[in-house]
Amino acid sequence: MNFFKPKFWDKNQLSFFSIFLFPISLLVIIISLFKNLTTKTYTTAIPVICVGNIYLGGTGKTPLSIEIFLILKNLDMHPAFIRKKYNSFQDESNLQKQIGKVFQNKKRIKAIKEAIQEEKNIVILDDGFQDFSIKKDLSIICFNESQLIGNGLIIPAGPLRENLSGLKRANCVVVNGRKNINFEKKILEKNKNIKIFYSEYKPQNVNEFKDKKVIAFAGIGNPNNFFNLLIKNKIDILDKINFPDHYQYSKSDLESLINKAVKYNAILLTTEKDYFRISENYRKNINYLKIKVEIENKNKFINEIKKII
């Protein structure tokens, strides 16, 4: 599904659209509550780490799940990624496959059972915090400093999958960005025992693009987070082009981008997610920014993981 995030989602004040859509949001809340009460929860034979979100998309779940995978490998574990299978997009799984084994199924519990059969002894659930069918041993919720909780309303009136009170089910929060005392207070009001960490994206190959003209494009939840990262690293951006989240690039899209780059003697630069969603025939004409997540107080974060091993 191609989807541009509505601008009113991230406004501090309520808009006409958010008020108009609020009754539908109430229905979403009721359906979610009913689903929670009626869903059977399965306990798995191996620990489950859930990396999820409350804000819909663009919070950094996938980069964090990759970092956790590497942490687990260093702890001599045999981890695997677990994803719900969607026919419409495979970008996150394509990225994770560069790191380790990914198990996908329309029912996540079946994917976990497949991982157990292949002798994996811990799994990372990328997304799935709102999947009540699986008991999680460690739930980590991601936020980005640029959006946090937007206008604070549930979809479609706002960008939240559920109320912030959902943090009562979480163990940790990871905010990508700078320390925010006011936001920490909001979090701790919902769960006084939750652990709060901060992370930062560190580009690994940014020097390759300095002193070059760049046309940047992205089809992710919050493309401005990508563009701002380039600006922060002093990349000369000639143009910024947005596509819907999980966008499937057509031949004409890619040829148009390539022709534009040739016209302006520039290079094309996109996100790692987008790059692995693009047909291999076109990848040689496109560059991607490789990033690594650096977690502040990483040893304390690792200790939270060790508690469930």
- Identify whether residues 239 and 139 lie together within a single domain: no
Determine the structural domain holding residue 300 and report its residue range.
38-201+294-306
Answer whether 280's CB lies under 8 Å from 256's CB: no
pLDDT in tens, the chain (309 residues): 566 788 889 877 788 899 999 999 999 999 988 888 899 999 999 999 999 999 998 899 999 999 999 999 999 999 999 999 887 676 677 788 889 999 999 999 999 999 999 999 999 999 999 999 999 999 999 999 999 999 999 999 999 999 999 999 999 999 999 999 999 999 999 999 999 999 999 999 999 999 999 999 999 988 999 999 999 999 999 999 999 988 999 999 999 999 999 999 999 999 999 999 899 999 999 999 999 999 999 999 999 999 999
Tell me, yes or no, whether 8 lies in a domain. Answer: no
Going by C-alpha positions, the residue among 260, 265, 274, 268 that lies closest to residue 287 is 268
Structure tokens at 93: 């799984």
* Structural domains of the chain, count: 2
Residue 67 belongs to domain with CATH number:
3.40.50.300
DSSP 3-state assignment of 123?
A: strand
- The residues, any chain, with a CB within 8 Å of residue 183's CB and separated by 6 or more, are 143, 148, 175
Dist. CA 56–CA 28, nearest whole Å:
14
Tell whether 17 is covered by a domain.
no
Judge contact between 89 and 219, C-beta under 8 A.
Answer: no
Judgement on whether residues 177 and 301 belong to the same structural domain of the protein: yes
**Same domain? 48 vs 170:** yes
The set of residues, in sequence order, having a beta carbon less than 8 Å from that of 232 and lying 6+ positions away, is: none
